[in-house]
Amino acid sequence: MSLLNHTISQQALDAPAEAFVELAGVGKQFGAVRALSDVDLRITAGRMTSVLGHNGAGKSTLIRIIAGLVKPSAGRVRIAGDAEDKLSPRHALSLGIRCVFQELSLCDSLTVYENTRVLHPNLTGRRWRNRSRALIQQSLDTIFPGHDIDVNELVGRLSIGRRQMIEIARAFTVTDVPVRLVILDEPTSALDAKAANQLMQFTRRVRQEGCSCLFVSHRLREILDYTDDIVVMRDGRVTDTIVMGPNVSASILVEKMGAVHDEAPLQAGSPTRKADGRSVVDITGSNGSIPFRATKGEIVGLSGLAGQGQRELLLQVLSATQRLDSHCKVTGKAAYVAGDRQSEGLFPLWTVAENLSIGSLSKVCRLGVISLRRERTLAERWRAALSIRAPRVAYPIRLLSGGNQQKVLVARAFASEPDVVLFDDPMRGVDVNTKTELYGQVRRLADSGCTFLWYTTEIAELWNCDRVYILRNGRITEEIPRHALSEERVISASFERT
Amino acid sequence: MQSVTVSRRNGLSGLAPLLAQHTRLAVPAVALAAMVGFSVILQPRVMSYFGLTLLLRYSEPLLFATMAQLCILTVGDVDLSIGPFISLVNCIVSVSATSSPTRCALELIGCVIGYVIMGAFIQVRALPSIVVTLGFSFIWLGFALLTLPTPGGSAPDWLVSMMAFQPPLIPMPILLAVMVAVVGDILLLRTGYGAILRGIGSNATAIQQAGWSLLIGRTVLYGAAGLCGVLSGLTLSGLNTTGDPWVGAQYTLLSIAGAIIGGAEFSGGIVSPIGAVFGAGIMLLSGSLLSFLDISTDWQLSVQGGLLTLVLALRTFSAWGVR
Amino acid sequence: MTSPNVRQWVSSNAWVWSYAGAFLVFVAMLPFTSGHGVIQTTQVALQFSTFYVMVGLGQMLVIALGNGNIDLSIPGVITLGGFVGLGAGGDGPWGAATAAGATLLVGISAGLVNAIPVRILRIPPMIATLSSGFVFQSVAIAYSRGASAAPPALLADVTTHRSAGVPDLTIIFVFLSVVVAFTLRCTKFGRTILALGQNARAAGLTGLRVGPTITFVYIISSTFAAFTGLLLAASVGGASLDMGQDYLLFSIAVVVLGGAAISGGRASTAGVWGAGLLLVLSVTLLNVIGVSVGVRFLVTGLIIVLVLGLANRRA
């Protein structure tokens, strides 16, 4: 008996062209940041819809809205024909919407079958454990034949790949509500080739039985081979909807993702740097990764899709300044500028001055005691230099706007007079004016001999760099010199073609 | 041929997780057996019905206190108020159980509700359990001192005779320990809702996103802890036959140590009722063993505190070994 | 015009509430004490709150570290410090100095015993300090065999003497509090503590020396506790095994009531004094009214739980 024999109600089979999910004019605002605007989307029953886009295109906000995890600030959401204004995760679940997210939603301390039960409150009674075991076992066997997962094992003891398989298999288990839509967010990134292939094959079978899939992947081959509809997103908008056909190719998709040039890339100063200065950062290549090198006064960009190991690279460089690393040689002092201000950068209870001086306390110390006067002078100097808009330097940092908070973090790094500045996507969520100002500062500091490693999720920002490295799956896969830099080249290198 | 998806575990690497899974239970079990064995060698009379009964006297209150702590540890909290709470129950029972059983029963129900409120308070205000339970410990102690300002009162006869009851063949403490272990194991490890409760301690967001109420989960566990606390106080009253507002003080450390040594993790989600029974036994015997060895009982606290640190240190080391 | 400014100032200086509370309790107490009694009551209150402040300052630094750091070994260290300090003191001319030296040694070693499991073995601070506290307590039991030496004359004098009506101890510890406040504000060490408590990841990424700071803070906390034990024992003529009992909750209570954040990163030295006075005066008031010891515990517990519930609004 197939796992899916009872997953799809008769109604879905009767009306296959019916849209299961329908979004009309959906928008979402996070504070000052507009993550989604005016999105129309139809997910048809029995078809796989792929959402394609580079970083910050709004993919994850979109799928989180459909999963009921985020409430849209504008527009209408209709599911199975009914308007759903207050979609909660529980309600989405009861409508037959299942999610497989990148950040796993399994409990480490529970067994595989107990995690299955978390999704099925109606698994009760004396024999619930056997039923839960059978349910997940059958699902695993169907999707990943030949897997070796013991459903009695604690999830915390399994490898990431196996956990991902469980997460996927769990999404397809059925007790009372049939599965109508499965959201697959980069489901294959943690799987090996065979399991990934098994999953993609399986999605074909479910679709035949009327279940829809919403698919996000950075592997263009998977999208081309398995998708029915492709939705291209950019800057929070749906820019293109493509029905899969023989004439759709990887190059066309790459082109579509970067095709909208509505604004000139922001940049300051002319990139006239040569890459032959004294080497400051040197990382030997290994395991499919090309070697990395940054010279004095160079601005080196790190790009690729988010979370492909760029942060880890920056942290490796940072830790190499403190302890010996045979693969990574760094000359001089490094300063790190966090992009995730709240969790990695700000000291929220402090003033601007305290936040700014913490990276260079020895410069304001006299006999081991911080001179509050010198601290203030230092803060005032940088407030003026980066035109941080705060009434005074003794002003609480949490009352500043996001852009100005970010300026303080940049000033903290600059004030410590580092040899290497590590940018972990610091311009995320920063307004355009602030960005332009900071770009100028970066260029000026680079001209005076400071090296920048700049990870950014915005392609336009790469035009500030002298050279760009692309990372994919934790490896440095490509080096693009300034003169060869183009949006298409970056996008094309970010996605896997094969 | 295609690359193999998930390489079959070979013999050696398969052994490690198997061991890890069972060491959680095996270590306290072996340790307890060794302690019992050692006691028997030092004091052969222990190995008799009465010897065991004597050795395991006062195991019941500790057993229930450990179970109460286990419930709290399940959601990743810790309870520093269980000791004074046991004192409070002891005082209530000694003062009013004989004269007005109904009032006593109502007050004990009130105690359990107090625990439920404590859990709800922690959940709703998102407060650290350690500070809240420490604050509540003063409240319990205050009530205990109000109920019974100085040691005195008497436990009802039925309770005293129940605690003195001697079943045939197997001593009462052992019977009770087995029962508690089985009930705890079934409720927390084998029911569907038990899995959800442990899930809260492991990944509360995931549980909440699947539509479960964290408030209900936490209050259920705190209520269960309160119930175990009441049982602990009842059995203690039956053994002591009298009330004392300070009697429970030692149970806070003992219950934490017992549950942790028995395999529970501080981070929440990982608990073992059977292990906790062994852990409580180890804590209980650590005192008797010292006296068999002619070591001053002054060092008993050192041994108990030291054991707890040692077990946690060993766990850290074994985690390093796995990595 | 000033009202929003005042509100803003109060919200970032939560310690004023503890003084307001202490003042209210003091006023409420006035009808029960007549003339001369007020001064005496105040002196006694100052004396007792000084002891709360002694342990509170150390606990405040530990809690300011954030990330679950807390020192539950304080009662054990107090007892051990009291017994060992007095035991080492004796009657000789150097009695007070040896007592202080021995107490310092107890403090430093107890701090290390706390810090090592926390830092190297990654044991949750709460449990590491709870169990080490029991170890200290039992070492004290074994060391003392229940008997305590008499305090050196000089120490006994210091703990009971008053200058211009103010207990000497209070003056000493006001001075020490100023030093602690200054350290927090104007040294790299102090800034590191506060930075850690606000955002441990950011502190690490900024290149602050996290590990040594944590160790040192635990040593400071234990040293304060050990000296509290010595001075407490000296003030009552000898150490006793249960002398540290109340100080576990009170050390935490003065920190929390004083306006510090339980989650760390914000410390208030002035608040510790205010909260110490508030707690001591409330207990004194309840004593004066004549309620039983049970009510005192109950009220103390309720104050702490309610203040916690009100102060820590969900962000």
* Residue A241 belongs to domain spanning: 10-258
Tell me the per-residue pLDDT of B208-220, one tens digit each, with 9 for 90 and over: 888 889 999 999 9
B40 lies in some domain: no
**Residue of A327, A311, A299, A310 whose CA lies nearest to A471:** A310
B117 lies in some domain: yes
Average pLDDT over residues B226-250: 93
All residues of chain A having their beta carbon less than 8 Å from the beta carbon of residue C202 are: 338, 343-347
A410 lies in some domain: yes
Whether residues A181 and A318 share a domain: the answer is no
**Residue of C240, C73, C49, C60 whose CA lies nearest to C141:** C240
Which chains pack against A, by 3+ Cβ pairs within 8 A? B, C
Top-confidence residue, C157 or A179: A179
* pLDDT over threshold 90, residue A9: no
Residue C312 pLDDT class (50, 70, 90 cuts): low
The 3-class secondary structure across chain C, one letter per residue, is CHHHHHHHHHHHCCHHHHHHHHHHHHHHHHHHCCCHHHHHHHHHHHHHHHHHHHHHHHHHHHHHCCCCCCCCCHHHHHHHHHHHHHHHHCCCCCHHHHHHHHHHHHHHHHHHHHHHHHHCCCCCHHHHHHHHHHHHHHHHHHHHCCCCCCCCHHHHHHHHCEECCEEHHHHHHHHHHHHHHHHHHHEHHHHHHHHHHHCHHHHHHCCCCHHHHHHHHHHHHHHHHHHHHHHHHHHHCCCCCCCCCCHHHHHHHHHHHCCCCCCCCCCCHHHHHHHHHHHHHHHHHHHHHCCCHHHHHHHHHHHHHHHHHHHCCCC
Option in C191, C194, C205 nearest A336 (CB): C205
What pLDDT does A374 receive? 93
* pLDDT over threshold 60, residue A52: yes
A225 lies in some domain: yes
Whether residues A215 and A289 share a domain: the answer is no
* pLDDT over threshold 80, residue B19: no
Distance between CA A176 and CA B115 in Å, rounded? Answer: 36
CB–CB contact C133 B127 (8 Å): no
Distance between CA C135 and CA A82 in Å, rounded? Answer: 65
Structural contact between residues A343 and C199, judged by C-beta atoms closer than 8 angstroms: yes
What pLDDT does A272 receive? 54
How far is A361 from chain C, CA to nearest CA, in Å?
A: 7
* pLDDT over threshold 80, residue B11: no
A170 lies in some domain: yes
A81 lies in some domain: yes
How far is C305 from chain B, CA to nearest CA, in Å?
A: 6
Instruction: Report which DSSP code applies to B241.
Output: S
A181: which strand partners? Answer: A97, A212
CB–CB contact C186 A370 (8 Å): yes
Distance between CA A240 and CA A226 in Å, rounded? Answer: 18
Amino acid identity of residue C116, one-letter, is: I
φ/ψ (deg, to 5) at A50? -100, 135
A309 lies in some domain: yes
Tokens of B136: 């509540």
Mean pLDDT of all residues belonging to chain A: 85
* pLDDT over threshold 90, residue B109: yes
Distance between CA A69 and CA A99 in Å, rounded? Answer: 11
Distance between CA B145 and CA B9 in Å, rounded? Answer: 60
* Residue B116 belongs to domain spanning: 60-250
All residues of chain A having their beta carbon less than 8 Å from the beta carbon of residue B2 are: 193-194, 197
> Any idea which residue has 């806070």 for tokens?
B252
Tell me the per-residue pLDDT of B254-303, one tens digit each, with 9 for 90 and over: 999 999 989 888 888 889 999 999 999 999 998 888 888 888 878 888 88
Q: Is A354 on the interface with B (CB under 8 A)?
A: no
What pLDDT does B9 receive? 37
Top-confidence residue, B237 or C90: B237
Structural contact between residues A352 and A379, judged by C-beta atoms closer than 8 angstroms: yes
A341: which strand partners? Answer: none
Option in B128, B138, B149 nearest C292 (CB): B149
Provide long-range contacts, Cβ within 8 A and 24+ apart, for C103-106: C103/C226, C103/C227, C103/C229, C103/C230, C104/C223, C104/C226, C104/C227, C106/C77, C106/C80, C106/C81, C106/C222, C106/C226
Q: Is C265 on the interface with A (CB under 8 A)?
A: yes
Distance between CA C271 and CA C15 in Å, rounded? Answer: 4
> Any idea which residue has 């539509």 for tokens?
B211
Tell me the per-residue pLDDT of A375-420, one tens digit each, with 9 for 90 and over: 999 999 999 988 888 888 999 998 888 888 999 999 999 999 999 9
- By DSSP bridging, strand A467-472 and strand A369-370 are unpaired
> How far, in Å, are A10, B34, C62, C113, C237 from residue C215 at the CA level?
66, 36, 10, 10, 33
Distance between CA A418 and CA A368 in Å, rounded? Answer: 21
What pLDDT does C115 receive? 94
Sign of CA dihedral A431, A437, A442, A443: positive
Q: What is the CATH number of the domain that holds A111?
A: 3.40.50.300
Domains in chain B: how many in total? 1
Option in C121, C135, C312 nearest B306 (CB): C135
B180 lies in some domain: yes
B116 lies in some domain: yes
DSSP A371-390: -HHHHHHHHHHHHHHTT---
Distance between CA A373 and CA A137 in Å, rounded? Answer: 68
Whether residues A248 and A331 share a domain: the answer is no
Whether residues A222 and A289 share a domain: the answer is no
DSSP 3-state of B20: helix
How far is B215 from chain A, CA to nearest CA, in Å?
A: 16
Q: Which ranges constitute the DSSP H helices of B97-171?
A: 101-125, 129-147, 157-163
Whether residues A165 and A225 share a domain: the answer is yes
* pLDDT over threshold 80, residue A2: no
Tokens of A147: 């897997």
Look up the ipTM and state it: 0.86
> Any idea which residue has 């073992």 for tokens?
B272
* pLDDT over threshold 50, residue B140: yes
Residue C28 pLDDT class (50, 70, 90 cuts): confident
CB–CB contact B269 A144 (8 Å): no
Mean pLDDT of all residues belonging to chain B: 87
With pLDDT > 90 as the criterion, what percentage of chain C qualifies?
A: 43
Tell me the per-residue pLDDT of A65-84, one tens digit each, with 9 for 90 and over: 998 888 899 899 999 888 88
* pLDDT over threshold 80, residue C68: yes
CB–CB contact C131 B313 (8 Å): no
Domains in chain A: how many in total? 2
B66 lies in some domain: yes
CB–CB contact B210 A197 (8 Å): no
B289 lies in some domain: no
What pLDDT does B3 receive? 35
Option in C187, C208, C265 nearest A369 (CB): C187
Q: Which helix (H) or strand (E) holds A216?
A: strand A212-216
B314 lies in some domain: no
* pLDDT over threshold 70, residue A175: yes
What pLDDT does C314 receive? 37
Q: Which helix (H) or strand (E) holds A453?
A: strand A451-455
What pLDDT does A282 receive? 86
Residue that terminates a domain, selected from A258, A293, A319: A258
What pLDDT does B53 receive? 85
A88 lies in some domain: yes
Residue A301 pLDDT class (50, 70, 90 cuts): very high
Average pLDDT over residues A282-289: 83
How far is A156 from chain B, CA to nearest CA, in Å?
A: 10
* pLDDT over threshold 50, residue A16: no
* pLDDT over threshold 60, residue A494: yes
CATH architecture of C16-310: Orthogonal Bundle (1.10)
Whether residues A250 and A330 share a domain: the answer is no
Q: Is A107 on the interface with B (CB under 8 A)?
A: yes
**Residue of A87, A119, A112 whose CA lies nearest to A22:** A87
What pLDDT does A14 receive? 46
* pLDDT over threshold 70, residue C60: yes
Average pLDDT over residues B303-311: 85
* pLDDT over threshold 70, residue A5: no
With pLDDT > 90 as the criterion, what percentage of chain A qualifies?
A: 34
A265 lies in some domain: no
Option in B134, B144, B149 nearest C249 (CB): B134
A11-15, A372-376, B84-88, B92-96: which range is least confident on average? A11-15
* pLDDT over threshold 60, residue C195: yes
Tell me the per-residue pLDDT of A105-117, one tens digit each, with 9 for 90 and over: 899 889 999 999 9
The answer to whether the predicted template modeling score (pTM) of the entire model surpasses 0.90 is: no
* pLDDT over threshold 70, residue C119: yes
Substitution target in A91, A101, A109 with the highest count of B β-carbons within 10 Å is A109
B313 lies in some domain: no
How far does CA A271 lie from the centroid of its chain?
Answer: 28
Residue B6 pLDDT class (50, 70, 90 cuts): very low
